[in-house]
Amino acid sequence: MNSKLFLLGLSIFFFVSCQSSQTDPINPVLPIPDERQLAWQEMEFYAFAHFNMNTFTNMEWGMGDEDPALFNPTDFDPKQWAKVCKEAGMKGIIITAKHHDGFCLWPTATTEHSVKNAVWKDGKGDIVKEVAEAFRAEGLKFGVYLSPWDRNNPDYGTPEYIEVFRAQLRELLTNYGEIFEVWFDGANGGSGYYGGANEERRVDKKNYYDWPGTIEIIRELQPQAVIFGDAGPDVRWVGNEHGFAYPTTWSNLMRDSIYGGMPEYSKKYSSGQENGTHWVPAEADVSIRPGWYYHPYEDHKVKSLPELLDIYYNSIGRNSSLLLNFPVDRRGQIHENDVKQLKKLVAKVKEDFSQKIPLKSSNLSASSENGQYSVENLLNSEMMTFWSPKAGELPASVTINFDEARTFNRFLVQENISLGQRVKSFELEILNENKEWKSIAKETTIGYKRILRLPDTKAMAVKFTIHNAKESPVISHLAFFDAPKLLLPPEISRDKNGTVELNVIEGGLEVYYSLDGQDPIKSGKVYSEAFSVMQPTKLKAVTKDPISGKFSEMIEVDLQLAKKNWKVIGGGENAGNLIDEDPSSNYVSDQNLATIDLGEKQEVAGFTYFPMQNRYMSGLIKTYVFYTSMDGKSWQKAGEGEFGNIANSPIEQRVEFDPKEARFIKLKVKSTTDGQPASFAELGVLLTQ
C-alpha cells in the first residue's frame, strides 16, 4: 500500500472509531483514483474543439504540406466558445493545439509551421493563449491536444523529433496557466510530407515516444493535469468515436498491457477490466457532427436531439465522462447549428432530472448497515458520505418505500469511488400495486455514476440489491426521476409503394396527422397503422403526450407521386436505388445519366434530386439538363441549370418548370462537383397541383 492509501485507510478508521464503536473500518479496494483523477471525474461534461489547419483546407487529416498562410479565421471569437460552453454547464475545453498535420496554434519556437506564419493577425496571433484566457475568464478549465504524430516535421520517426515534441509540450505546459488535461491521440505514423520527403514513416508505437519520459515532464510542470491516452496513464479512450461507454464499464485497467494506438485496444481493453491493475477511467469523445473538423457540407448534419441524448446517457450514465467536440468554423466560432443542438440537449437533460421523486430517511431501509454508514447517507450526493452494509453481507439491499405509488423512468446510483470501484452486479425490483415484487433491471457495474433509462414504472416500493461486489459496497447516492417524454414530431417514412409510416421514438405517445392541409390537432386523426399515399399530398403531423396533454412541434411534408410503377431504364445493377425511397442507398451512373419510365402519363412540373449522404461524398451533380418524353424516344428539354451550393449543402434540390405531359423523364448530368461519375440517392418528380 502506498503512503497516501495508508493514510486514507487510517483516517477512515479513525473517523469511524470516534463516531461509533459498531462501525467496522472499510479499506479501499485497489486501485483507487488519485486526487487529480477525482477532480477530473467530477467535471463530467466538457468540450473538445477541433480548430486548426484542417478547418481551412476542408480536411480531417492534413498531410503536413499545407501553406501556413491558409490559417486565417475571419472572426475568431473564443469568448463566444466560452460562453456557449459555460451556458451548457460544460466545465472546460480541450483544444487541438497541434493535430497530425503539425500546424501549431501557438507561436512555438520549435517550427515555422505555426500561426507565426499565418495571415491571421499578421503572424502575431496566439490561438492557444486567447482560448485559455477566454475560458479562464468564465471560470472554466483548459486542456491541450498535442498530436504525437507530426506529418510536417522532417525529423518525425527519428529520436530528434521526440525532443521537438517534448519542447512543444513544455511550451504549452509553461506558458498558458493551469492545464487540466493533456490529450494524446493513438493515431501514429504513416504517410506524410515530413519536410518534403513525402513518404511513409512507421514508428514503433510502443517504444518510439518513450512515454515514461514524456509523462515525467507533465508531472513536473502540471502535476494536477490528467493525461489521456489509450493506456492512460490517468484517463483512457472509450474505444469508439460515438461517445458510448458500455453497460459494464470498469475504471480499472490492465494498463501495463496497453500502448497507444494498439490495434486490439477497442475490442479487448476499452471497457476496462474488473481486475485491472490501475485506475484509468473512461472518457467518451464524440463530435457533434460527423467530422471532427468543420466542413460546410455538414452544416445540416449536426446530431439530432435523440442522438445527443443517447450519447449523454451512454457516457455520463455509464461511468464515463463526456468530451463533446465542436468543429469550430472558418470564422473561428462554434457554428449556430451546433449551438442550437447543444442547447436542446442541455434543456432536455435538465428536464429529465427536474422531477425527482422526493425521498426522506423514513422512506429507506437496508438489509444491514455498517455503523454510521447508514442508509440515510444515500439521500445526498456527497461522495464521501455513503451507505455500506455489514462486512461480508451480500447480497445487500436497500428498500425504498414511497409514501404513495410513484411513477419513475430514470434511476441514478453512485459509488464512493475514492474507495475503489466495487459493485459487480445489481438489480432493481419493484413492488407493484398488486403487492407483487417484480424485477425490472439486472445490471453489472456502477462506478462514479450509473443512470438507467427505464420504461415508465409505477411502484409502491423499489428494492435495490447488490448481488456481487469486490468487498462491501459503498454507495454514496441513489435517486429516481420521472422524466417527461421526449416530444418530437414523428419521423415520416414512405416506401416505393407509397406506404407511409409515422414513427415516434418513445412509447406511450400519440400521433395526430392530416392529409388535407388542416391543422392535424383539429383534424383529430390519430395514427394507428401505416397508410397509403399515391398522389402528391401535404402531410402534417404532431406528437402528443396524453399524460401532460402537450404537443410537439408540427412536421409538414410534401409527399410527391409514389414511385410504385416506376422503372429505371438501363443503368445496370444498382439502378433501383435511384427510386427506392431509401436515402442511404446510392446509384452511381458512369454515363452521368438517369432515365425513368413513370408507368403512365403525368403532368410533370419539376423534379427533385436528393444527393448522396455518405460521410465522404462523390459525384454530386453540379450542372444538368432535364428532359421529358411521351414515348421514351423523342425527348424535349424541360429545364437546365446548376445546383449552386450542393458541395457545401447536400440537401434535397428542387427544380420547377412549366408543366409537360410526360411518361418518361431523363436527367443528363453535365458536370459533377468533383468530376467523378454522377451519384444519386433519390430522384423524384413534381406534378402540377
Contact with ligand FUL (CB under 6 A) among 185, 283, 298, 682: 185
Nearer to ligand FUL among residue 187 and residue 394 (C-beta): 187
Residue type at 460?
M
Largest Cα–Cα distance in the chain?
99
DSSP string, 195-253: GGT-EEE---TTTTT-HHHHHHHHHHH-TT-EEEETT-SSEEE-SSSB----SS--SEE
Tell me the CB-side half-sphere exposure of residue 680, using CA atoms within 13 A.
Answer: 27
Which of the stretches 23-31, 101-109, 181-189, 466-474 binds ligand FUL when contact is defined by CB under 6 A? 181-189
The interface with ligand FUL within residues 48-77 (CB under 6 A) comprises: 60-61
The least CB distance from residue 532 to ligand FUL, in Å, is 46
Give the containing element (helix H, strand E) for 309.
Answer: helix 305-315
Nearer to ligand FUL among residue 323 and residue 419 (C-beta): 323
If binding is defined by CB under 6 A, does position 187 make contact with ligand FUL? yes
Cβ 424 vs Cβ 469: under 8 Å: yes
Least Cα distance to 23 among 390, 521, 414, 489 occurs for: 390
Cβ 568 vs Cβ 579: under 8 Å: yes
Nearer to ligand FUL among residue 193 and residue 627 (C-beta): 193
Nearer to ligand FUL among residue 99 and residue 335 (C-beta): 99
| Count of residues that bind ligand FUL according to CB under 6 A | 7
Q: What span, in angstroms and rounded, lies between the C-alpha atoms of 154 and 196?
A: 7
Q: Three cell numbers at 339?
A: 449551438
Write the interaction track for ligand FUL spanning residues 561-600; mark x where CB under 6 A is met and - where it is not.
----------------------------------------
The least CB distance from residue 61 to ligand FUL, in Å, is 6
Nearer to ligand FUL among residue 188 and residue 409 (C-beta): 188
HEC letters along 325-367: EEECCCCCCCCHHHHHHHHHHHHHHHHHCCCECCCCHHHEEEC
Which of the stretches 22-30, 184-192, 588-596, 654-662 binds ligand FUL when contact is defined by CB under 6 A? 184-192
Q: What span, in angstroms and rounded, lies between the C-alpha atoms of 583 and 79?
A: 39
Q: What span, in angstroms and rounded, lies between the C-alpha atoms of 426 and 58?
A: 48
Nearer to ligand FUL among residue 56 and residue 626 (C-beta): 56
The least CB distance from residue 164 to ligand FUL, in Å, is 20
Q: Which residue is nearest to ligand FUL (CB)?
A: 187
If binding is defined by CB under 6 A, does position 262 make contact with ligand FUL? no
Q: What span, in angstroms and rounded, lies between the C-alpha atoms of 16 and 24?
A: 7
Nearer to ligand FUL among residue 268 and residue 564 (C-beta): 268
The least CB distance from residue 323 to ligand FUL, in Å, is 8
If binding is defined by CB under 6 A, does position 346 make contact with ligand FUL? no
The least CB distance from residue 609 to ligand FUL, in Å, is 32
* Residue listed under C-alpha cell 483548459: 142
Q: What span, in angstroms and rounded, lies between the C-alpha atoms of 497 and 359?
A: 54
Q: Give, as one character, the DSSP assignment of residue 41.
A: H
Nearer to ligand FUL among residue 187 and residue 254 (C-beta): 187
The least CB distance from residue 149 to ligand FUL, in Å, is 8
CA 101, 104, 109, 112 dihedral sign is positive
CA dihedral in degrees (366, 368, 373, 378; nearest 10)? -10
The least CB distance from residue 285 to ligand FUL, in Å, is 5
Nearer to ligand FUL among residue 152 and residue 673 (C-beta): 152
Write the interaction track for ligand FUL spanning residues 280-309; mark x where CB under 6 A is met and - where it is not.
-----x------x-----------------
Nearer to ligand FUL among residue 48 and residue 607 (C-beta): 48
The least CB distance from residue 102 to ligand FUL, in Å, is 13
* Interaction site with ligand FUL (CB under 6 A): 60-61, 185-187, 285, 292
